[in-house]
C-alpha cells in the first residue's frame, strides 16, 4: 500500500464522469520543437475534464494523484529517475500508470497516470498524437 504520515492513501476512485475530474500535466523542458503537438494533446484532454492544472514537478504530480488530490496526470520527455518512485506510489494507492515510448538509451519516457476508471480513455488520447 501507499502511506502518508503513517496513514494509507488512495486514488480518488469515486468519480463517475471524466468531465468532473481534475488533471495535471507538464510541458517538457527539452522538447520545445514539439510544443504544438503537446498543446494539442493538452487542449483535447482539457475539453474532457473539469480542470487541467500545472502544479509542479512530475514527481509531485504523481503523489497528488496517489493522494486523490488530482485524478490523473500526463507528461512527456521525462527521465526515468523523475517518475519511478511516484509511479510505484500511484500503483500502490490503486491507480494505473504507464510509461509510453520508454527509451533505454537515454532513459526518456512519456507518462500517463490516472484513476483506473478513466485511465484507458486518457491514455488513448495521449497515444493518438504521439
Beta 51-53 vs 22-25: how paired, if at all? parallel
d(CA 102, CA 88): 16
Are 94 and 116 within 8 A, CB to CB?
Answer: yes
pLDDT in tens, 37-54: 888 888 999 999 999 998
SS3 8: strand
pTM: 0.92
Q: Between 15 and 30, where is the model more confident?
A: 15
What domains sit in the chain, N to C, each tagged with a CATH number? 18-127 (3.40.190.80)
The angle at the Cα of 68, spanning 65 to 70, to the nearest 5 degrees, equals 55
SS3 78: strand
pLDDT in tens, 61-110: 999 999 999 999 999 889 999 999 999 999 999 999 999 999 899 999 99
Is residue 129 very low, low, confident or very high in pLDDT (cuts 50, 70, 90)?
confident
Amino acid at each position: 500500500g501507499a502511506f502518508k504520515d503513517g496513514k494509507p492513501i488512495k486514488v480518488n476512485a469515486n468519480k463517475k464522469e471524466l468531465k468532473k475530474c481534475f488533471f495535471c500535466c507538464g510541458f517538457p523542458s527539452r522538447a520545445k520543437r514539439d510544443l504544438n503537438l503537446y498543446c494539442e494533446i493538452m487542449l483535447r484532454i482539457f475539453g474532457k475534464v473539469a480542470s487541467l492544472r500545472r502544479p509542479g514537478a512530475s514527481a509531485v504530480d504523481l503523489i497528488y494523484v496517489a493522494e486523490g488530490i488530482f485524478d490523473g496526470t500526463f507528461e512527456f520527455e521525462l527521465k526515468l529517475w523523475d517518475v519511478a518512485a511516484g509511479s510505484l506510489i500511484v500503483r500502490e494507492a490503486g491507480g494505473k500508470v504507464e510509461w509510453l515510448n520508454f527509451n533505454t538509451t537515454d532513459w526518456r519516457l512519456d507518462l500517463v497516470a490516472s484513476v483506473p476508471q478513466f485511465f484507458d480513455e486518457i491514455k488513448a488520447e495521449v497515444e493518438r498524437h504521439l
